[in-house]
Amino acid sequence: DTAVSQTPKYLVTQMGNDKSIKCEQNLGHDTMYWYKQDSKKFLKIMFSYNNKELIINETVPNRFSPKSPDKAHLNLHINSLELGDSAVYFCASSQRDTYEQYFGPGTRLTVT
Amino acid sequence: AQSVSQHNHHVILSEAASLELGCNYSYGGTVNLFWYVQYPGQHLQLLLKYFSGDPLVKGIKGFEAEFIKSKFSFNLRKPSVQWSDTAEYFCAVTSIQGGKLIFGQGTELSVKP
């Protein structure tokens, strides 16, 4: 039983392209997140959605646009990819009253 | 500013050695505290958490952590490590209302068989 799933697991693309990463959770949680893990393994929050509503938007370039079609899905679309976007992107979810976040397996994005 | 600091970047131990990983946080308000583990090539998994109550919390796989409010610390311990504990360990904090996790920079633990 996969709790938080992401696709694709690996994504290799060229600078300037547009790509999307999908995330789905089957835990019934109402809050979902995107985190970025850089090459030094530092994890930082990017976005958070609660019941399809954006509640956290850190200082992330406008090229990154999250979309939540329903509370079980939170996708991340990235326009005009740059070399510095290379990282592992983790999706997570939580139930607001428990605060524990469950993480997906990550998507390793490599921009060449 | 909210921040989490992990004292050790890379820790190397032999099997059966005792482990203590330091974590200090800076946060204006009451917090929830977490330790996550990331095994090589895998996603983050929750080891243990502290919300309130007994400051000594026990997690999975024999890990425990102690919250010392006066020191703003939440150190992770294990009395006897195994080779399978080789992983990256992250301390994290969030406000008691939940929301974004603020992570430390991680500590890489290597356990030699």
What domains lie within chain B, and their CATH numbers?
3-112 (2.60.40.10)
Cβ contacts (< 8 Å) between A101 and chain B: which residues? 46, 101
> Which two structure tokens, joined as six digits, stand for B78?
């294990």
Q: What is the pLDDT of residue A97?
A: 57
- Give me the residue from B32, B90, B108 closest to A43, CB to CB: B90
Mean pLDDT of B62-84: 96
Q: How is chain A split into domains, by residue range?
A: 4-111
Q: How far is A48 from chain B (nearest CA, A)?
A: 7
Mean pLDDT of B93-105: 84
Residue B99 has pLDDT above 90, yes or no: no
Domain range A4-111, CATH class: mainly beta
Q: What is the pLDDT of residue B6?
A: 96
Averages of pLDDT over each 10 residues, chain A, 112 residues: 89 97 95 92 90 82 92 95 96 81 94 96
Q: What is the pLDDT of residue A51?
A: 82
